[in-house]
Amino acid sequence: MRKTLILMMAVWLLAACGRVETMAEYRKCTAEEAKERMDGEPFILLDVRTEVEYVERHIEGAVLIPDTEIAARAETELPDKDALIFIYCRSGRRSESAARAMIGMGYTNVFDIGGILDWPYETVGG
């Protein structure tokens, strides 16, 4: 009986080990690095500021999901968890928090590009 139990536990552990998923790591990149990748491959640009900040000035093509709504909206509005996602805010604090939250939700290819204040390229606004 004991040998059977030990054998069953060993089989279960081996099966469970085969399904272990590794969580992506938090990654930060510069505006220049992000821009270079944006020019060459498909991506999602995520603005995590408020709607007022977004209307005032944002990077063209950005999707707005305020950092306070990431947990509630990301999985519905950004269903591809393997998509290349660049996240920005005003100065970098909210983008880091949002990037870490999304990684915790299972997103695998997230990059924090900091704040729009450090974005040297063209922006649009009202």
pTM value? 0.82
Residue 27 · residue 110 · CB < 8 Å? yes
* Angle at 100 (CA atoms; ends 98, 106), nearest 5 degrees: 105
pLDDT for the residue 19: 44
Look at the domain 23-118 and name its fold. Oxidized Rhodanese; domain 1 (3.40.250)
Domain-wise residue ranges, the chain: 23-118
Alpha-carbon dihedral sign for residues 75, 78, 80, 83: negative
Average pLDDT of the chain? 89
Find how far residue 114's CA is from the centre of its chain: 12
pLDDT for the residue 1: 59
Q: In this predicted model, what pLDDT tens digit does every residue of 52-108 receive, in sequence order?
A: 999 999 999 999 999 999 999 999 999 999 999 999 999 999 999 999 999 999 999
- Residue 23's pLDDT band (cuts 50, 70, 90): confident
Worst-scoring range by mean pLDDT, 2-16, 57-71, 105-119?
A: 2-16
